[in-house]
Amino acid sequence: MKPETARAPVALDLLDTAVIRLDAEGRIIELNTAAEQCIGAGRETARKQTPAELVDIPTELIAALESMSGSERGRHLQELQMPGGYYDCTIQAVGDGSLLLELHDLRWERHRMKLQQRELQSGLMNLLSRNLGHEIRNPLGGIRGAAQMLARELESDLELPDLATLARLVMRESDRIEELIARFGQPTMDPTEVDFYPVLTEVIELVTAEFGDQVSIQRDFDPSLPPLHCDAAAIRQILHNLMRNACQAQASKLLLRTRIEHDPTLLHGTHSALRVDVEDDGAGVPESLRPLLFLPMVTGRRDGTGLGLALAQQMAAMHGGSLTYEPVNQEDQSRGSRFSLFLPLNGSRRTAENSDG
C-alpha cells in the first residue's frame, strides 16, 4: 500500500484537471499542480486554509461548499472565474466527510471547439467553392458568350460605339468573376518579413478615405512588436474587412489595439502571438448569429454577402492564426463588438511556409 500512496500525488500532478480535497472542516488537505494554477496559490500556502481564506475565490463556489450536505451526491458549477481562468467545477462528497473538487479548465474546451468550428468552416468553404463553380460558371459562360457576340455586332455599327464598349465591359467582368470563382476557397499565400504597422496604417488611410468623419480611429499600439512573417496583402484584407464592418455597423469610435500575448492554447501550442483588437461602439452582432459568425453565407446585413468574415478567418488560419469575436460590453451586448486577430510570433516563419503548401 505504501508504494501506491507515494505514487498517487505524482499521478494527480500529471492531470490537466485541477483536483482539490477538503477535510470535514472545509480545509484544503490535498491539491495537484493544476489546482495550484487554478487557485493562484502554491500547495504549501493553500494547505490548512479554507477556500474562503484564499484570494479571489468566487463567492458562488464558497457558498456551495458551505451549504453542501453529507447526503448530497454532488454539485456542478459552470464557468467559475477563478484566479487561473474560467473553470467548470464538480463537488463530490467523500464518505469520511471530506469533499473532492474537480475543476476543468475551459480554455482547452474552448480551444477544442474553435478547432471543430475551423474544420467545419473549411469544409463549408470547399463545398461552397465547388457549388459556386458548378452553379455560376455555366450561366456565366452564356453571359460572356452573348456579350462577345454583341460586341462583334456593335463594333461594326458606327452609331453605337458606346454599346460595344459596355459589351466588352461585361466580358471583362465575366472573366474577373471566373477568376474569383477559381480562387475562392483556395487563397494563395506569399509570406515575407513584414513590418506590421505600415500595413495597418495603409488600412487606416483606406477606411478614413471611405468613411471620412463618420468614425474616429484611436490607436493603442505596442511599440515592441517584432517583424512578422506573413502575407501582407492577406493581413491587409483581414483588417480592412473588420474595420469596414465596424463602420457599416454605424460605429462612431474605432479602437485598434496591438499586444503580444503568451498562451499555449491560443494557436495550436504556439506560446507567443500578436493580438490585434478591432473594437467599435457600433451595432453589436445579434446573439442568434454569434455561434455561426465565421461560417460562409452568414450575415446580419441586408446587403452583406456573408463571405468577408469567413474568408478573413480562413486567411488567418493559413497563417497559423485565428480570428475571434466577443461583445465589448458583457452587460449590454446589443452595442459594440471586439474582433481579435491572433498571429503567431514563435515559429511564425515555419507556420506560414507550411500553410503555403
Q: Write the class of the CATH domain 2-106.
A: alpha beta
CATH architecture of 192-355: 2-Layer Sandwich (3.30)
Give pLDDT tens digits along the chain (357 positions): 344 333 346 778 888 899 999 998 999 999 999 999 999 999 888 989 999 999 899 999 999 998 887 677 789 998 899 998 889 999 998 877 889 999 998 877 766 666 666 666 666 666 666 666 666 777 878 888 888 888 888 777 656 667 878 888 888 878 877 766 665 555 567 889 999 999 999 999 989 988 988 899 999 999 888 999 998 988 998 999 999 999 988 899 999 999 998 765 566 555 688 999 999 998 888 888 887 787 766 666 665 556 778 888 888 888 888 888 999 887 666 788 999 999 988 644 444 444 444
Using an 8 Å Cβ cutoff, are 64 and 82 in contact?
no
Q: How far apart are CA 204 and CA 217, in angstroms?
A: 8
pTM over 0.75: no
Can you list the pairs that 182-186 forms with residues at least 24 positions away whose Cβ atoms lie under 8 Å?
182/133, 184/128, 184/129, 184/132, 185/125, 185/126, 185/128, 185/129, 185/314, 186/129
DSSP strands (E only) in the chain: 18-22, 28-31, 74-82, 85-93, 99-105, 192-194, 216-220, 228-230, 253-267, 270-283, 322-327, 335-344
